[in-house]
Structure 1
């Protein structure tokens, strides 16, 4: 899978996590940990790990002016955090949204650089 495809996949997973979080806050229904929470968190973790490695390799070969390794590492960490906390609606909304949006910003910035 190309870095561009990995970037899009991780963006979609983060958007899905945001939707899950918002729905959970409204319904207040707890999710089953082993049937729902863990599989989703594992999927996000795997996507974030693969994307992080590919993005760091890309930056070594093609240094960017506005996207740096520290941002890649932080975005992957934020994606993992969002994936893990999406089903827990008692998580602070501002912190959750901020982590998700921060990761999405870096993903979008990298994706635009890939298109050039």
Structure 2
């Protein structure tokens, strides 16, 4: 690829890891029906996810609009941005619905993986 997408690749990889951490938090807190301390645990984590995803979004949208990778569209990128922020809070709540959460988490992982593959081509 002629343009350097190193920063986008790094941020996408970071979000992929964040998504795994979100799943781990879900397993620890939600499956055990434990609510995390909002100020000490939830807010700092959610703020970090928001900061990274807000920085990632314009770069990812630009990439998708410019490169036009197969099977990857603008609305999927926007959905990942929104879903990561929802998951960053929901993973700590004891009343989060398992099936819905896991489907959203898989969707985020799939889209991030597709983006990483497209960047590396």
Determine if the TM-score, normalized by the shorter chain, exceeds 0.5: yes
Residue 106 of structure 2 corresponds to which residue in structure 1? 101
Q: Quote the residue 2:85 is aligned against.
A: 80
For residues 70 and 32 of structure 2, the distance between their equivalents in structure 1, rounded to whole angstroms, comes to: 43
| Alignment gaps of 5+ in structure 1 | none
TM-score (normalised: structure 2): 0.89
Q: Any idea what SS the aligned residue of 1:105 has?
A: helix
1:66 CA drift (Å): 1.2
- Report whether the alignment pairs 1:21 with 2:35: no
Runs of at least 5 residues in structure 2 that lack an aligned partner in the other structure: 1-5
TM-score (normalised: structure 1)? 0.93
Which residue of structure 2 aligns with residue 114 of structure 1?
119
Task: Map 1:1-116 onto structure 2 (within 5 A).
Answer: 2-116=7-121
Equivalenced residue count is: 116
Structure 1 residue ranges (4+ consecutive) displaced by more than 4 angstroms after TM superposition: none
